[in-house]
Chains A and B, each alone.
Chain A
Amino acid sequence: MIVSTQSVRFDSIQLESGVVITPVDVAYQTYGELNANRSNAILALHAFTGDAHAAGISEESGKPGWWDNMVGPHKAFDTNKYFVICANVLGGCRGTTGPSSIDPQTGKPFAMSFPMITIGDMVRLQHKLVTHLGISRLLAVAGGSMGGMQVLEWAVRYPDMVAAAFPIATTGRHSAQQIAFNEVGRQAIMADPDWNGGNYYGQNPPRRGLSVARMVGHITYMSDDSMREKFGRRFKSREGIAFAFDDEFEVESYLRYRGSQFVDRFDANSYLYITKAMDVFDLSQGFPTLGAALEQAKARFLVISFTSDWLYPSYQSLEIVSALRSRGKDVAYCELSSNYGHDAFLVEVGEQTELIRGFLGRVQKEAA
């Protein structure tokens, strides 16, 4: 399945802060066919550094999408049955308006003049896209990690538009630990002289800072078990200890490689804006409790967490489940067994497929 990214421009978007961005572009892809009564649409929501390319082989890059093992013919989100949409988030750097986009007022990239954005703003923009595509009700919204935060936001903000919600390996709000890791990443970028107050476009981007930020991120996505299994204390070469600060351990080499790969595809300012949006996200904001926020929701929920995920631990999913139950909402919950840490939500395909396929089939049957 060869796919290409499409784009749509909206006149403006008003942010939660009150600031208006004019105009705003959204990059998105779709898979499968929208049925005649427009009732089979599913919105897939990407995690922090993902993009609109969720499935199939990209016409532009030749690479498979970030959720290609879950979205496609006969997969969990079966594109023979469903019409799946995925869009790059607001503040991103993969086609949707973000800090690296040109500010029409100045003719230069926004850089740090880009307004602060929230998870709610990302969802507002997705809502514009979904409406633009002529869809008034989504069969499901699904996503892991930051995508899961958007799932929760969708279910609360647009309750009549969501039949089923799949928040995976996510939280209603970041803990101090999650904020702390993001802050280390941001400080690494800002400490790089090449960051230059955010004004590096057309010059050297802050490669070292962004690379270190990504290295920290990768550690939090794995688990002690998965790192021990993948790297152990193995050396990169056979000679053993080099008595130098080269990347002598395999784990060092891996992190450096991942860091350097990342800077070629991701904008450092987007890193700052998006991590901040995650940190300030609090589903209960504006409500007395998390339960009061979720009281708004009308969707059937399937919440999934993973045993070894210490970045988004199961207790955070259980908070959501508990709040939903306290309001008598329809919620299924399963903690899947995995050694892969937070990465599990992208890696553990088999069991998630079984859960999502069955649950989704039932929701579609009920909606029909």
Chain B
Amino acid sequence: MGTTPPVTYRRLVKEVLNRGDYAIIGELIEPGSKVLDLGCSEGELLEWLMDNKNVRASGVELNRERVQQAIARGVSVYQGDIDQGLIDYPPKTFDYVILSQTLQQTLKPLKVLKEMLRVGKQIIVAFPNFGHWSVRLSHLLSGRAPKTGLFPYDWYDSPNIHFLTVDDFEDLCREQKWGVERRFFLSGNRRVTVMPNLTAEIAVYMIRESEKNL
């Protein structure tokens, strides 16, 4: 490990498994590295990384059926809760720990992020941006909990229990003195750079503990 891999600055992201954030994660991860994916669902991303990046992949997933699907793909997935699932791992076990569009569903997001930074040399976090203009507009015009393409759920059956924006996440990184290595913003499969807090649907951050914490 050591040097950060070059990432091509294409305007349009060629999706991996129909996901723009997966494409970015796929580009960020160095071949042959050790990767942990939290909330890995059926292990699609990990399988892709095994096939295309020759990584040593591990995953954590709570849902039994999804765990079974993932293991049947040959991915080493552990059935358990990510809010407490990393306790066993020694520090810096993994080159990368991924949390893809799950942060907003965890009970204690800050605790999860800290645990990720403990067991991973770098972490990659992708989350839906609650600051996107369509969310703001929906809330403003309807006067109700916003429902958009990105947040399609009714308030009572949404898996999302924390709502954060790009600016919220930037604030947290600053407060915690985390080193943001890379940040990417997506609208559909198009990369956006201007006013991401307003224009990005999905944000992808690659972070490591700050130099003085290392």
Contacts and interface: CB of A to CB of B under 8 A. Distances in A.
Interface string B65-83: 0011011111111111000
A251 interface: no
Chain B residues touching A, majority SS? mixed
B75 A335 contact: no
A305 B89 CA distance: 21
Contacts of A21: none
B58 interface: yes
A254 B70 CA distance: 40
Interface residues of A, number: 27
Contacts of B53: none
Contact of A328 (B50, B71, B90): B90
A330 B79 contact: no
Q: How large is the interface on B (under 10, 10 to 19, 20 to 34, 35 or more residues)?
A: 20 to 34
A363 B76 CA distance: 11
A333 B79 contact: yes
A335 B77 CA distance: 12
Contact of A335 (B64, B72, B74, B93): B64
B190 interface: no
Contacts of B121: none
Contacts of B147: none
B88 interface: yes
Contacts of B93: 328
B79 A334 contact: yes
B74 A358 contact: yes
Interface stretch (A149-157, A167-175, A318-326): A318-326
Contacts, number: 64
A359 B74 contact: yes
B127 to A, nearest CB: 26
Given A333-B78, A335-B79, A328 B89 contact: yes
Contact of B88 (A322, A332, A357, A359): A322
A321 B78 contact: yes
Contacts of A358: 71-74
Contacts of B79: 333-335
B76 A300 contact: yes
A300 B76 CA distance: 8
Which one of A300, A322, A354, A362 has the highest number of Cβ atoms from chain B below 10 Å of its Cβ?
A: A362
15 contacts: A301-B76, A302-B76, A326-B89, A330-B56, A332-B77, A333-B77, A334-B71, A337-B64, A351-B68, A354-B72, A355-B68, A358-B71, A359-B72, A361-B74, A362-B50
Interface of B: 50, 56, 58, 64, 67-68, 70-80, 88-90, 93
Given A322-B88, A358-B73, 18 more contacts: A302-B71, A325-B78, A325-B88, A328-B93, A330-B56, A330-B58, A332-B70, A332-B71, A332-B78, A333-B78, A333-B79, A335-B79, A355-B71, A358-B72, A358-B74, A362-B50, A362-B74, A362-B75
